[in-house]
Amino acid sequence: MTPRPLTITGGRLVLPTGAPQPGAVRVADGRIVALGEISAEPGDDVLDAKGALITPGLVDLGVFAIDKPAFHFGGITRAALMPDQGPPLDHPARVRFAAQSGKPDMWVHPLGAATRGLEGVELAEIALMRDAGAKAVATGRRWIADSGVMLRLMSYCAMLGLVLVTHAEDAGIAGTAVATAGEMATRLGLPAAPAEAESLAVARDLALAELTGCRLHFRQVTTTAALDLVRAAKARGVKVTAGVTPAHFMLSDLELANFRTFCRLSPPLRSDADRQAVISAIADGTIDVIASGHDPRGAEDKRLPFADAEPGMAGAETLLPLTLTLVRDGHIDMARTFALLAGNPAALLGVKAGKLEAGLEADLALVEPERPWIVDRSKMAATAGNTPFDRRPVEGRVTALFKGGNRVA
């Protein structure tokens, strides 16, 4: 039985450009059919948004676990799943299974492993994984050290028209480091690597992307020098995009003070100057995507000495409110916020979503941007509440969520 068309009235539409404007959106057969100054048609279900923002559902590029309650809480309707699973997503059958795993109330877009076993040696069956539903290819948590392998990988991705999502950290320099070299790491006696581990990786991958014409996406760029390289490459016309998670524009390595393992991240937290550089790069368009990096880790991974703890944070529930701090601080507007959280990642994945536009999938959220709440790891919907933002007051809450026009939260 086909659900009745839905018209959401009385909201403020967050369109790709300009300020939010009063209006309504009408949905039929899973797609947006009209928006703006429109009225419900006879037989429609009608929902009054009561002044809330009507936004695209978020598209979270590069999560490590599918955690539906957390995604729904955070307004995420689509998640691109990293290939770092057990076993890795390096085979078409695994990719196909992962692509089905979100149904019926979530879109899961698997990223195929770039190399077999994510070991950085032998290319995986990329074309077959694309046919099985892989929306892009990713190197996983690790950097591919062999430049010859990376050159062949990029050539192949360019030929197939697939985006390559890469981790920017030269493993030869980073080694077993858990912090960024500097005063904080020295004071705490933590194994540390210079921030240049990132910029060297970025420089090499940009050179190879320029050579091959590959569409390259750095999942996280977190240092001043690396951001400068990306900015210059974009100006030269290199097909490169860059992402970041809220931790790297909200927090610096000062957070490590009490060996807080919830602040053990990959890449590690940087200096405050780098944090400010990330905010500037978001404001000037150098950074294209803000993602959660959702990676729930239980006590067995986090209640350990800092150097032994696993990196990662549960980020899905805090992605939207933390990004909205950039709006309140005047760095970006609401249209740019949803380009970073939905429109740009959807374009990278090649999915018809991420914007309020007639003809696109009706993945929609109602958002109250000023609604206050307090992050509480003990009450999080995620399978583990390993957040560095515990007890932090935030603003911005999703009050309703729709996937293909069907309400899921």
* pLDDT single digits (tens) 232-278: 999 999 999 999 999 999 999 988 888 878 888 889 999 999 999 99
3-state DSSP call for residue 293?
A: coil
How many Cβ atoms from other residues are within 10 Å of residue 168's Cβ? 27
Strands 107-113 and 76-81: what pairing? parallel
Whether the per-residue pLDDT at 19 is higher than 90: the answer is yes
Quick one: average pLDDT of 155-169? 97
Answer for the pair 52, 398: CB distance below 8 angstroms, yes or no: no
Whether the per-residue pLDDT at 356 is higher than 90: the answer is yes
Helical H runs in 38-88?
68-74
Q: How confident is the model at residue 1 (pLDDT cuts 50, 70, 90)?
A: low
Whether the per-residue pLDDT at 51 is higher than 80: the answer is yes
How many Cβ atoms from other residues are within 10 Å of residue 286's Cβ? 24
Q: How confident is the model at residue 70 (pLDDT cuts 50, 70, 90)?
A: very high
β-sheet bridge partners, residue 15 = none
β-sheet bridge partners, residue 31 = 28, 361
Residues in the chain: 409
3-state DSSP call for residue 28?
A: strand
Cα angle: 104, vertex 108, 114; to 5 degrees: 155
Whether the per-residue pLDDT at 26 is higher than 70: the answer is yes
Burial of 405 (0-12, 13-18, 19+ CB in 10 A): buried
Task: Kindly report whether the peptide bond that precedes residue 104 is cis, defined as omega within 30 degrees of 0.
Answer: yes
CA 303 to chain centroid, in Å, comes to: 26
DSSP-based helix, strand, coil % in the chain, nearest 5: 35, 25, 40
Least confident piece of the model among 55-64, 96-105, 198-207, 329-338: 96-105
The phi and psi torsions of 329 (rounded to 5 degrees) equal: -85, 0
Answer for the pair 218, 198: CB distance below 8 angstroms, yes or no: no
Least confident piece of the model among 178-187, 243-252, 294-303: 294-303
| pTM of the complete model | 0.96
pLDDT of residue 312: 82
* pLDDT single digits (tens) 302-347: 888 888 788 888 899 999 999 999 999 999 999 999 999 999 999 9
* pLDDT single digits (tens) 114-160: 999 999 999 999 999 999 999 999 999 999 999 999 999 999 999 99
Quick one: average pLDDT of 83-94? 95
pLDDT of residue 378: 87
Burial of 304-320, coded b for 16+ CB within 10 Å and e otherwise, reads eebbebebbbbbbbbbb
Whether the per-residue pLDDT at 213 is higher than 70: the answer is yes
Whether the per-residue pLDDT at 60 is higher than 70: the answer is yes
Q: How confident is the model at residue 74 (pLDDT cuts 50, 70, 90)?
A: very high
Whether the per-residue pLDDT at 384 is higher than 90: the answer is no
What percent of the chain has pLDDT above 90? 84
Quick one: average pLDDT of 342-358? 97
CA 351 to chain centroid, in Å, comes to: 15
Distance, CA of 143 to CA of 123 (rounded, Å): 14
Q: What is the C-alpha R_g of the chain?
A: 21
Q: How confident is the model at residue 299 (pLDDT cuts 50, 70, 90)?
A: confident
Go through the domains of the chain in sequence order and give each one's CATH number. Answer: 57-353 (3.20.20.140)
Distance, CA of 251 to CA of 264 (rounded, Å): 12
- Residue partners of 388: CB distance under 8 A and separation at least 6: 247, 251, 255, 260, 262, 263, 265, 313
